[in-house]
Structure 1
Amino acid sequence: MYLLVLVQILQSALSGVHSCPAACSCSYGTGGNAELRSVRCSDPRISSVPVNVPADTVKLRLEKTLISRVPRAAFYNLSDLRFLWLNYNSITSIHPSSFVNLKALRELRLDGNLLTSFPWEGLRDMPRLQTLGLHNNRLSSLPAHASLFLPNITFLDLSSNRLTVVPAELLDLWFPPPGQQGRPVQRRILGLHDNPWLCDCQISLVMSLSLSLGSPVVLMDQLLVCSRSVDQSGVLLGQTELSRCMRPSIMPAATRVISPLGSNVILHCEATGYPTPTLTWIKSSAYAVMQVSPRVGVRWSIIILNGLSYKDAGEYRCQARNMAGVSEAPIKLKVVGVTRLSRLPKRKYIKTPLKLSSKYRKLTQTTSETSSPPMKENQILQNITPPSISKAQTAANLVSKEFLADKRSKMNLTDANK
């Protein structure tokens, strides 16, 4: 009896896992040696994401429904899901954690909804995602931080939205700087048409670079329209005078500086580009910075460091930015102190004749008068000083002898008076 109940529970659980949700259709397709389950839900009466989708589903299509929001962890049990289509619904909001546990997802399509923003940080939960479709929504801005989550996307459709500006960070992602040309370039397909782009350097560079030979970006439609303002009528991008736009290029005076402790240092960098780039020094502390633009398209900047300390050492980055892009140049500063000697140098002693006291000079004079040949002071010292005694000891002995002789003479005078 117990075994029979257990078998019934297992059968009900398995049937729940493999059963098809109501108002949906399920089918199998052969992919290699494995059978792939596909689930499609297109009933206009569906107003929320189904929670009983089979766990082995590989492709899920929720299309033409009344779904207006995608909640947190809406597809958590679908770890094998590879294709997720949410086209032509009424979706206005997506939770940043809606795509948790979709490690195998390759394609996400949200075309034809009412999205005014997209949670770009949610792409972290889909590391294998390559195709992202956001065609025909109401996106009015493309944030700069989106570039952090799009490195693996090879197909991005942003057409038929309300976008006006392409961030410079996305230009660096789509068109790597010359210094990164040695890395393998990933080709991307972009859909940017049918947006009210402003006539600026970003969109002009996207257009011109995409047309260059060997470009890493292919536009789905090359007829981009831009205008001087959002309210003005658009003109074809190729007819504008934005060909002067140039990404900044930085030329530091030196990439490595070594300076002693306590000294003053000036770091200098120069940048070219159009429009004239602005320069920013990136370092944790604040220093005196001066910028000068001698002519259009050129700007140089210096940073003044007074009284260097060890905390001033490190890497300083000079960053140039304009509407066409961003570039940086590192400058490494090393602060060196006074080096200590392992051994002190040997002192050099200079031999100088000892100065004799006045009493000793009188003694030598008396001796010289009685003796026949006159002798010099150094000769007298040589005669008096024993070979085993140093000159310093000899002078000390002479002073002590003079002191004793003087004391004895005073004692004799005292006795005589008594």
Structure 2
Amino acid sequence: MYLLLLLHILQSSLWAVHCCPALCACAYGNNGIAELRLVQCSDPGISAVPINVPADTVKLRLEKTLISRLPRAAFYNLSELRFLWLTYNSITSIHPSSFVNLKALRELRLDGNLLTAFPWEGLRDMPRLQTLGLHNNRLSSLPAHAALFLPNITYLDLSSNRCVHLLKKRVTSVLFNTGVHDNPWLCDCQISMLVSLSMSLGSPVVLMDQLVMCSRSLGHSGMLLTEAQLSRCMRPSVQPAATRVISPLGSNVILRCDATGYPTPTLTWIKTSASAVMQESPRVGVRWSVISLNGLSYKDAGEYRCQARNMAGISEAPIKLKVVGVTRISRLPKKKKSKKTSPKSSPKDSKPKQTIAATPTLSIKDSQILQNNTPTVFPIDKYTKRSKMNQTDQDTSRLT
């Protein structure tokens, strides 16, 4: 009984390897060394990825079907797959883990579907992928984080999509051949970077169609991208109002920075100690930014960085804020201050200092003499003057 069960399992596994899925056609091709399994499924009645595709399949074509989504691990058993064509179906969504275990895949084509987004992080499961076809979908852009997953891509076809903005320079620099025609490109300095890069000698970027048109550019609509006079992107530059600010405890302070660059950079304030964004640019197109700190405390002290960012790069400037405390010292009057003695001085030492500073002491006799010699001044009126004249007459009569 055990042997029969084992035999049934072996037959099932062999059938899974060598059988062909329903509504599909299977064949073997020869690459000069060994025969390769080719599977093609093009029946309009197919609405899901077949689950019984032979494990030794090297090329799988699912074309013109009603498949609308790719689920998680949709091709997990096809570890030998090298070519996967999913063209002209109705695919609207792809799970980020749809391509798990496709370590041998070299070419992935998704032309003619209804994709508005592509899971770029899913490319990590295809380390040998070189060709990625996304022609004739509904993609609106190629995000910057895609650069992290495109190191081995040598051909990327984004033609006939709805792309308006292109990727940054660091993303385009990892591509060799890029199809970007038939998109409503906004011809600005961002896409001019790609054109300049493609026209430079020895550039790794090649525009597959030189007749790329500007469709949404002010003053350049309908012009060839290679002929449009586009402004060049300029990396931001930040200039703070002051690099060092010292302010007392409890006061209010305003930090300001100005930035230049093209396109107009966005401004962000970051406190170094907290490593957190404190305030972003108040509105689009603003070339300056301020941050207000009211009622300063010691926690507000530290380094603040004003960061400017645009598609051409990032620049920042530090501003150091120092918070100082205010101490009030009460001043005593000079007389009281002179009488103060230091703790180390003895009473004996203080007496001579007081004697020298005081008025010299007079004896009783000297004081009486001083009083007798001091003239007394009274107000002189008519009565006093008449009495003095009478007294003088009396003295004169006595003498005679």
User: What TM-score comes out, normalization by structure 2 length?
Assistant: 0.64
User: Structure 2 vs 1, CA of residues 10 and 173 (structure 1 numbering), >3 Å: closer, same or farther?
Assistant: same
Question: 1:82-103 deviations in whole A, cap 9, x for unaligned?
Answer: 3211122333333444323334
Matched to 1:316, the amino acid is R
Amino acid at match of 2:213: V
Deviation, 1:357, is: 9.6
1:60-209 equivalences under 5 Å are: 60-139=60-139, 141-142=140-141, 144=143, 147=146, 150-152=149-151, 153-166=153-166, 170-174=167-171, 186-209=174-197
- Equivalent residues in 2 for 1:297-376, closer than 5 Å: 299=287, 307=296, 309=298, 313=302, 316=305, 318-321=307-310, 324-329=311-316, 331=318, 352=345, 354-355=347-348
- Deviation at 1:331? 4.0
Residues of 2 paired with 1:162 and 1:280: CA distance? 31
Paired with 1:212 and 1:105, the residues of 2 have a C-alpha distance of 32
Distance change (3 Å), C-alpha of 1:236 and 1:19? same
- AA matched with 1:237: L
SS at match of 1:198: coil
For 2:264 and 2:62, the matched residues in 1 are separated by 49
Is residue 16–residue 55 contact of structure 2 (8 Å, CA) maintained in 1? no
> C-alpha distance in 1, partners of 2:319/2:103?
41
Partner of 1:286: 278
2:214 is paired with a residue of what secondary structure?
A: strand
Query: What is aligned with 1:27?
Result: 28
Gaps of 5+ in 1: 176-184, 339-348, 359-418
How far apart, in 2, do the equivalents of 1:107 and 1:137 lie? 18
Q: Which moved more, 1:190-199 or 1:265-274?
A: 265-274
The Cα of 1:2 is off from its aligned counterpart by 3.9
Q: Secondary structure at the match of 1:235?
A: coil
CA spacing shift, 1:353–1:239, aligned 2, 3 Å: same
Q: Name which of 208, 213, 224 aligns with 1:236.
A: 224
What is the CA-CA distance between 1:218 and the residue it aligns to? 1.6
Change (3 A) 1:3 1:195: same
The answer for the alignment partner of 1:54 in structure 2 is 54
Q: In 2 relative to 1, CA 288–127 (structure 1 residues): closer, same or farther, beyond 3 Å?
A: closer
User: What SS does the corresponding residue of 2:88 show, helix, strand or coil?
Assistant: coil
Give the % identical residues.
59
Secondary structure of the residue aligned to 1:9 is: helix
Work out the CA distance in 2 between the residues paired with 1:351 and 1:29. 110
- Deviation digits for residues 300-342 of structure 1 (CA, Å, limit 9, x no counterpart): 5565667474676467361222xx534233649698999xxxx
Deviations 1:257-314 (A, max 9, x none): 89899699987765433344343334525369899x9xxxx95556566747467646
Distance in structure 2 (CA, Å) of the matches to 1:8 and 1:276: 70
Deviation by residue 1:86-142 (Cα, 9 ceiling, x = unmatched): 122333333444323334433211112233443444444444433211112233x11
CA deviations on 1:185-232 (whole Å, 9 max, x unpaired) are 6443211111121233322332233222343422111221013469x9
SS in 2 for 1:355: helix
Asked whether the 8 Å contact 1:280–1:319 carries over to 2, the reply is yes
Closer/same/farther in 2, CA of residues 276 and 66 from structure 1, 3 Å limit: closer
Alignment of 1:249 onto 2:236: yes
Q: 1:272 aligns with which of 260, 281, 288?
A: 260
1:212 counterpart residue number: 200
CA pair 316-68 structure 1, distance change in 2 beyond 3 A: same
In structure 2, how many angstroms separate the alpha carbons of the residues matched to 1:135 and 1:120? 16
Q: When the two structures are aligned, how many residues end up with a matched partner?
A: 325
Task: Assess if the C-alpha contact under 8 Å between 2:266 and 2:309 holds in 1.
Answer: yes
Q: Distance in 2 between matches of 1:83 and 1:249?
A: 44
Distance 1:80 1:332 in 2: 57
| AA matched with 1:25 | C
2: CA distance, partners of 1:131 / 1:260: 60
Q: 1:319 to 1:221 in 2, by over 3 A?
A: same
Contact 2:28 2:35 in 1 (8 A): no
SS in 1 for 2:191: helix
CA distance in 1, matches of 2:94, 2:348: 101
Q: Secondary structure at the match of 1:205?
A: helix
Determine the C-alpha separation between the residues in 2 that align with 1:137 and 1:287: 38
Query: 1:287–1:304: 8 Å Cα contact kept in structure 2?
Result: no
Return closer, same or farther for 1:213/1:45 CA change in 2, 3 Å cut-off.
same
* Counterpart for residue 368 of structure 2: none
